[in-house]
Structure formats: C-alpha cells, structure tokens
C-alpha cells in the first residue's frame, strides 16, 4: 500500500498532454489542488465547472494523487462515464482509492510503470477491486511516475491506451 510523503506535481505536468486531448475533440479542464484536505472538494468543483462549460459526458483522469482523487470523485459524482489513473496510489494521506473503485461501475483504466515503487502493485490492487465490468490495467516497463509515463520508454503504449480508453468511454 503506497502512501507517498509529498506531492510535487502541478497542472504544468499536463501542459504537453492536455492539448492532445483538446485536439481530439475533448473539453479539458486542468487544475491544481488546494490544500491536501480539500482535494476531493477541488475535483468535485472542477467536475461541476466542466459541466457548466457544456460537457455532456465527463471522464475524470489524474496522475498520482490526482489519479486517486479522480477515482474517488468518479465514484461519488453522477454522470461520470469513465475514469483513468496514471500511477495512482491506493492510499495517499486522507484519500483512498479502494472504496471508490468498489463502487464505481463505469469504464476505468489503471496505468503504472513496473519499477515505480509500489505504484504498479497499487494499480493491480485497484484493478482487482474495481467493480466495473469494463476495466483495464496497463503495467509498462520503466520507472516513470504519473504524467512522466507520457515521455518514458513506453510512451506510445500509454498514449494508445489512454486515447483508446477515452474514445470508448466517450462513445
């Protein structure tokens, strides 16, 4: 069970990734979390905002802590049609992914690198616990974490898996 001690990621980690989603026709909202105690509320507010901007179907995604929070938010929000996580820990501070994936029934994708600490095992644990009948797990070689998976040795496989997942979940 992973429990990282800090999160140094930001919305800047998505700067090279999010435009590809937008170019594929998706509305994308990238944001930073506030304080650690508010991450679930922050994702809820972002989900509400993207709907206000006209999104008809919502797919949540995130990396590391953001991946766990995306899974938690997907389980509690109505009308979320899918969720994906890159290197999501099953536990991070006061966030817990396992109870969420046990409730979430829409399509879900878990991605992690084999040599990224405990995160590959966390992805496997989340995958096994997921209630969704449409769940996918991709463990790639390397040690990249979170959005760095998009630039690592398995970047093509990661991009293809996420792109395919988005297309299927949005249809």
Determine the average pLDDT of the residues in 62-86. 92
Going along the chain from its start, the domains and CATH numbers come out as: 11-170 (3.40.50.1820)
Q: Is 70 exceeded by the pLDDT of residue 61?
A: yes
pLDDT over 80 at 119, yes or no: yes
In this predicted model, which residue has the larger pLDDT, 18 or 12?
A: 18
Q: Residue range 27-48: average pLDDT?
A: 81
Reported in sequence order, the residue ranges of 31-70 that DSSP labels E, i.e. its strands, are 58-63
84 three-state secondary structure: strand
DSSP structural state of residue 109: E
Q: Count of residues for the chain? A: 171
pLDDT at position 6 is 39
CA–CA gap between residue 22 and residue 40 (Å, rounded): 24
Query: Which residues lie below 8 Å from residue 44, measured CB to CB, with a gap of 6+?
Result: 73, 76, 77
pLDDT at residue number 1: 41
Of the chain, the percentage scoring pLDDT greater than 90 comes to 60
Higher pLDDT, 34 or 40: 40
β-pair type (80-86, 91-92) = unpaired
Mean pLDDT across the chain: 88
Q: How many CA atoms lie within 13 A of 70 on its CB side?
A: 29
* Least confident span in 19-23, 44-48, 70-74: 19-23
Cβ within 8 Å of residue 86, ≥6 positions away: 61, 62, 63, 64, 67, 111, 112, 146, 147, 149, 158
Average pLDDT score over residue span 73-77: 92
Name which of 30, 21, 107 is nearest 63 in CA terms.
30
Query: Within a 10 A sphere around the Cβ of 119, how many other Cβ atoms?
Result: 28
**Predicted local distance difference test score (pLDDT) of residue 2:** 42
Distance of CA 126 to the CA centre of its chain: 12
Burial of 5 (0-12, 13-18, 19+ CB in 10 A): exposed
Whether this prediction's pTM lies above 0.75 is answered by: yes
Is residue 103 scored above 50 in pLDDT? yes
């Amino acid at each position: 069970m992973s429990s990282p001690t800090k999160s140094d990621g930001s919305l800047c980690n998505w700067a090279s990734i999010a435009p590809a989603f937008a170019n594929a026709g998706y509305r994308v909202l990238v944001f930073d979390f506030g304080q650690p105690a508010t991450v679930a509320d922050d994702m809820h507010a972002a989900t509400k905002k993207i709907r206000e901007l006209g999104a008809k179907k919502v797919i949540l995604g995130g990396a590391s802590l953001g991946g766990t929070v995306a899974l938690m938010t997907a389980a509690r929000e109505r009308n979320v049609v899918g969720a994906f996580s890159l290197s999501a820990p099953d536990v991070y501070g006061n966030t817990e992914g396992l109870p969420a994936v046990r409730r979430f029934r829409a399509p879900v994708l878990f991605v992690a690198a084999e040599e990224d600490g405990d995160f590959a095992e966390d992805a496997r644990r989340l995958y096994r616990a997921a209630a969704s009948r449409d769940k996918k797990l991709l463990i790639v070689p390397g040690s990249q974490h979170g959005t760095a998976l998009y630039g690592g040795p398995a970047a093509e496989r990661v991009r293809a898996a996420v792109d395919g997942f988005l297309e299927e979940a949005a249809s």
